[in-house]
A and B are shown apart, each in its own frame.
Chain A
């Protein structure tokens, strides 16, 4: 009765590949998580630099953002993986996982930098003046007054950018990192079953997206009372 489903989506084959997809899902989670940490660190640093009073710091930050935003992510991954020679201090080339994560992190960092800068700028001057008047220095003001308020305010767009980062992580499969999309490619190559391969991959990504969506709504509700 349900034979036509097997024609279109043979779940019996997919079940055999569940370990692959699990491994892929885990790898996607790992790659995205590490890239997210890099992106947040680089993005915050770049946002602070872009608001500093030193011209050259502002220029470095503006140049970084312009370069990243004006080139495709695929090119950035290729440049970092293929064109970057042996890394100073590491004394060897980056392997595909490190290269992919670094490219993803730097890419998301530029976009997050813009978001975080908007957050920092939205903190009222009264807050900064108050911090100054109780004798806080620049680092203390950033650490205890400005960043906590600024970043909390832009959490929803930051989570949207994180969802984009997770989707973009599918591109690192082209330099040979095994992740969720790579698992789909494995099924495609071994069994020549594009339906099963990419429907499953799409469902996994949709599940991640839905989870991020719920989380973002939750955060927005939590912040709604405090910051809007």
Chain B
């Protein structure tokens, strides 16, 4: 039993490192995209907000596995050279888009939770829309965003296990599990 664990340890350690890399990159990229999308959705900009609403609904209505296969198998078939992605960037892109939908909904809810009186007061003392957002709305809403973000990041870190199916050796990849190295469960 101990030899089995010992012999698979290097594989697991490598997988852990890859999981860590993918999680960190996607959390950063996904949060940035999600923040922008959430901001646009909350500000109700005429054409952009409904389009991004559709983006969120489409991504949330399909399994992550489908996004991953879209990015990894479908984009290369379009014949554009820079879309011929390796497994790692494909996984990062798919996971980032997936993260962004969760983040966007949290950001939107947090911004909309700031009482309307705050914005009205800011505008009435002569702040521009940008200033209102920068000095009044965002500082208050960021505090509300932080607790649900933790939950989202856990979902994303768990979601990285799925990218093993396009051949990235992270923690869950077949060649990394003690099962496939030693055939002992």
Contact = CB atoms under 8 A, between A and B. Distances in A.
Contact of A206 (B58, B77, B185): B58
Interface in A190-218: 194-195, 197-199, 201-202, 205-206, 208-210, 213
Interface string B149-173: 0000010001111101100000010
Given A194-B69, A205-B66, A75 B161 contact: yes
A83 interface: yes
B70 A174 contact: no
A194 B77 contact: yes
Interface residues of B, number: 26
B67 to A, nearest CB: 9
Interface in A30-89: 69-75, 78, 82-83
B165 A174 contact: yes
Interface string B84-126: 0000000000000000000000000000000000000000000
Interface stretch (A12-20, A140-148, A163-171): A163-171
Interface residues on A, range: 20 to 34
B74 A205 contact: no
Given A198-B74, A209-B61, A210-B61, A71 B66 contact: no
A205 B66 CA distance: 9
B159 A202 contact: no
Interface centre among B57, B61, B159, B162 (most CB of A within 10 A): B61
Nearest to B158: A72
A75 B172 contact: yes
A27 interface: no
Contacts of B60: 209
A154 B121 CA distance: 36
Contact of B77 (A69, A170, A195, A209): A195
Contact of B162 (A171, A197, A208): A171
B179 interface: yes
A188 interface: yes
Interface of B: 57-58, 60-66, 69-70, 73-74, 77, 154, 158-162, 164-165, 172, 177, 179, 185
Interface of A: 69-75, 78, 82-83, 167-168, 170-171, 173-174, 181, 184, 188, 194-195, 197-199, 201-202, 205-206, 208-210, 213
30 contacts: A72-B162, A72-B172, A74-B164, A74-B172, A78-B172, A78-B179, A82-B179, A82-B185, A83-B185, A167-B63, A167-B64, A171-B65, A171-B162, A174-B165, A181-B63, A181-B65, A181-B66, A188-B69, A194-B73, A194-B77, A195-B77, A197-B69, A198-B73, A198-B74, A202-B58, A202-B62, A202-B66, A205-B62, A205-B66, A209-B57
